[in-house]
A = this chain, B = another copy of it.
Amino acid sequence: MITLPQGFRLAVATADFRDKHQDRRDLALALSDVPAVAAGVFTTNLFQAAPVQVARAALEAAGEGAPSFSSPRAMLINSGQANACTGEAGLEDCLATLDMVGAAVDLPASAILPASTGVIGARMDLGKWRVAVPALAFSLGHASLEDFARAIMTTDAFPKLSGAEVRLEGGPVRLAGVAKGAGMICPNMATMLSLVLCDAAVEAAAWRAMFRRAVDATFNRVSVDGDTSTNDTLIGLANGASGVRAEGGDLAVLEEALTGVLGDLAYMLVKDGEGATKVMHITVRGAATDADAEAVARTVGHSQLVKTAMFGRDANWGRIVAAAGRAGVNFRPEDLRVSLCAVELFRDGRPTDLDFDALLKEPLAGTDLALELVLGNGPGTAKLLASDLSHAYVSLNAGYRS
């Protein structure tokens, strides 16, 4: 059971954006009753959905000064309609939903950060919003973190939540995070959304910096299929409602907890990647630089050949070695060492003499596979979580009619 940080309330409702006439929640709101500092990380795709443009602008406008009642302290997520590739009209629709929800829960529209996931290229149905928003407002304070996590799901197989409580000098503070899937979203793209709530009191600049670093170390270190959505959004809100200040050495304690929560969520995203049966925990060490190590980790983690080999439970050192060798990174081939589930596969430019099939039969049947590459070329390291590539991935992504 993950505790909701103090000073936050959650709400969910059913708008039936998917026209399925099911009582499935598809609208979710989280808000802080007091001013909060807000951090955001967004898709790097050139195509940015209307809610991404609006949320990004709101965070910029708020700046890094002390928060006011009208600066961002809420996040509103709808699933089923992505409001991407909808032009100027899409921006107006997005602002209209913020006005609607703001009026219903007594928040300035500028305090609400929007995010959407679902079908792209189609306008949102504001009629459905009008019907659902009163129910959303009514549920405020009655929804749980799990309700919230379920309402933002699309093709996710399970809700994704994580939380932490850490003791700072002034007392305990709480963090809670929810996320939705890195798999392909109906109908067009992977959308990844996440929200982390925190009741510590922290300066805006410090919160934003630690959020950015924590995202870099976690969400930016996963690979499902290498595609990037128009809607990817991660938001972090810290409202100080615990009355405990995070400053000085406590900042590092808070950042570690934040990184842990985001790391849990990122792991769940990979595990729930479409059709995924395995999570590869790739570690690259001994590169000239961290950037080199990351390039090798990404090339191995993105390789369709490595991914299918893992799905097939095959200790295919040749595909791993070949992927490392084409990463555009310089190292001496004879220095490379590769281990899978702690069994050394490759060393001195050739496979080792171990009986891979016998040693790895059991480990490769598991879900979590540790893959380590050592380049022998310097101090650079990187980690990456990557899914495998299965028949189910092809079925899910070829079977869909856009």
Contacts and interface: CB of A to CB of B under 8 A. Distances in A.
A44 to B, nearest CB: 7
A242 interface: no
Contacts of A346: 85
Given A87-B348, A318-B121, A397 B227 contact: no
Contact of A86 (B187, B227, B350): B350
B85 A47 contact: no
Contacts of A395: 391
Contact of A312 (B189, B190, B357, B398): B398
Nearest to A190: B305
A343 B380 CA distance: 48
B189 A318 contact: yes
Interface string A385-397: 0000111011101
A325 interface: yes
A227 B322 contact: yes
A402 interface: yes
Given A45-B325, A46-B333, A304 B225 contact: yes
A230 interface: yes
A155 to B, nearest CB: 13
B187 A227 contact: no
A148 interface: no
Contacts of A326: 44-46, 227-228
Nearest to A311: B398
State how many copies of this chain the complex holds.
Answer: 2
Interface in A303-357: 303-305, 308-309, 311-312, 314-319, 321-326, 330-331, 333-334, 346, 348-351, 356-357
A12 B352 CA distance: 34
A291 to B, nearest CB: 15
Contacts of A351: 85, 121
Contacts of A47: 321-322, 325, 333
Interface residues of A, number: 65
A229 interface: yes
Name the residue among A47, A346, A400, A401 with the largest chain B CB count within 10 angstroms.
A47
B189 A87 contact: no
A188 interface: yes
A228 B300 CA distance: 12
A398 B394 contact: no
Contacts of A330: 46
A397 B308 CA distance: 6
A184 interface: yes
Contact of A402 (B121, B309, B397): B309
Nearest to A320: B188
Name the residue among A84, A121, A311 with the largest chain B CB count within 10 angstroms.
A121
Given A87-B349, A322-B230, A397-B309, A316 B188 contact: yes
26 contacts: A44-B326, A45-B322, A45-B326, A47-B321, A47-B322, A47-B325, A48-B333, A85-B349, A87-B348, A87-B350, A121-B317, A121-B318, A189-B305, A226-B302, A227-B304, A227-B319, A227-B323, A228-B326, A229-B322, A230-B325, A304-B389, A308-B393, A312-B399, A318-B402, A389-B394, A391-B391
Interface of A: 44-48, 84-87, 120-121, 184, 187-190, 225-230, 302-305, 308-309, 311-312, 314-319, 321-326, 330-331, 333-334, 346, 348-351, 356-357, 389-391, 393-395, 397-402
Given A46-B331, A121-B350, 13 more contacts: A44-B326, A45-B325, A45-B326, A46-B333, A47-B321, A48-B333, A190-B305, A225-B304, A227-B326, A308-B393, A314-B400, A357-B401, A394-B394
